[in-house]
Amino acid sequence: MNKITTFRGEYHFLSNFYQHPFTYKGLVYPNAEAAFQAQKCSSDADRIKYTLQKNPVRAKQMGKKEPNLPKNWDEISYDIMMDILRAKFAVPELAEMLEATGDARLEEGNHWHDNRWGNCTCEKCSTKEGENWLGKILMHIRHTNRTKYMHIENLEKITSHLNIPALIALAARPCVGKTTIAMNIAIYEAEHYNKNVVYFSFEMSEKQAYVKYNIQDKSSIHIIDDIPLTVSQMKEKLQSLGNIDLVIIDYLELIQSESEEKNRVHQFMDIGSALKKLSQELNVPIVILSQLSRGIDNRTDRHPILQDFREDLGIEQFVDTVMFLYRDSYPKFNEPSYYHFDNTIECIIAKNRYGEIGTIPLNCQLDFKVLQSNNEV
């Protein structure tokens, strides 16, 4: 298998230091490093200075001095970087450049002893292999841009939980299939029951989603890709659309807080309460996607449990139903099995105020598709 082991020269675009503006959570950053360091701040007002910092080295130095660094930064930094690079490579020309790397293993070789995000090749570190977090994230994004599920058996057993006003969490670790399952739910409900579905897509543009999931009936599936949005802003958009039967939000962590003054825990509690109230007011089920803590990856049994939600979210307290997605053959980045998943995904109903709990096996038929980049998306 080919390797790209330096993010310089023709592959400099893979580096977080690469200069190319992109939007993340409503702010335009000059490079991924500035966006990443800005997330150590507690408010957008504090993050503004990073949008003006074109020097990634200086941005990194600034980040080291941030006084309000989240206590669980080591736990959440991987997922934050994943979110940021998804936003970066949502830019069509960058997505095309990433796709052009083919199936090469991506690995940022370095000499500054960074064996977490890359792989240090100095004499001192030569006896151990780096974790290569950055490369793994890039390979994951490259792969998900190519893949969709064509058919999912037993999907109706999930959608049967979407018939009453309720707040439903659909959660998993990255690369399991949250967005794909959620999109298929939207398509299934629209096609089989003529439901009007609104899908808030905070990671993928409207055009990208319509192409990737081959959505033909755009009148029944409304994709809203405005970011960032508060719950009250989402409410306004929903009310302007009129009759709505199902709302899907992809995903919880990207919802904008109504108050930047509160800490993140209280912000999410407010968001959860507002979403639950919105479900009752509009008389519709709301499905919110969410990521699980990385701690699950360190267990022998990686079936998700309620305690696997990130502590700062408190999501299990305010939702009515919790659905976890789990795949036994958990993908390992850029190994042969990475491109040949087990086609069975378990949907684990771990909490249900209005019915039974249990496990629903989903048989997924995979279709690998390379997007045609600029002209189609």
Catalytic status, residue 203: yes
Q: What is the pLDDT of residues 246-285, one digit of tens each?
A: 999 988 888 888 877 777 778 888 888 999 999 999 999 9
Helix (H) or strand (E) holding 184: helix 178-193
Nearest CA to 205 out of 95, 291, 367 is that of: 95
- Backbone phi and psi for residue 78, each to the nearest 5 degrees, phi listed first: -60, -50
Report pLDDT for 369: 41
Report pLDDT for 313: 64
Q: Write out residues in the chain with pLDDT < 70, as ranges.
A: 1, 147-151, 311-313, 329-343, 365-377
Report pLDDT for 370: 35
- DSSP for 192-258, please give it: HH---EEEEESSS-HHHHHHHTT---TTTEEEE--SS--HHHHHHHHHHH---SEEEEE-GGGSPPS
Report pLDDT for 62: 96
CA angle 276, 220, 223 (to 5 degrees): 65
Separation of alpha carbons 186 and 181, rounded Å = 9
Separation of alpha carbons 183 and 326, rounded Å = 17
Q: What is the pLDDT of residues 70-92, one digit of tens each?
A: 888 988 888 899 889 988 998 88
Helix (H) or strand (E) holding 361: strand 358-368
Name residues whose C-beta falls within 8 Å of residue 126's C-beta, 6 or more positions apart in sequence.
none
Name residues whose C-beta falls within 8 Å of residue 50's C-beta, 6 or more positions apart in sequence.
29, 34, 35, 37, 38, 41, 59, 62
Report pLDDT for 317: 82
User: What DSSP designation does 89 have?
Assistant: T
The residue from 107, 203, 253, 316 that is catalytic is 203
Amino acid at 275: L
Domains in the chain, CATH or no CATH each:
3-144 (1.10.357.40), 149-375 (3.40.50.300)
Return the residue matching tokens 């390979």.
Answer: 139
Extract the tokens encoding 305: 């449990």
Report pLDDT for 340: 43
Count of CA atoms in the C-beta half-sphere (13 A) of 89: 25
Report pLDDT for 366: 55
Report pLDDT for 151: 65
- CA distances to 4, 125, 131, 134, 331 from 119, in Å: 12, 9, 7, 10, 20
- Backbone phi and psi for residue 301, each to the nearest 5 degrees, phi listed first: -95, 110
Report pLDDT for 238: 94
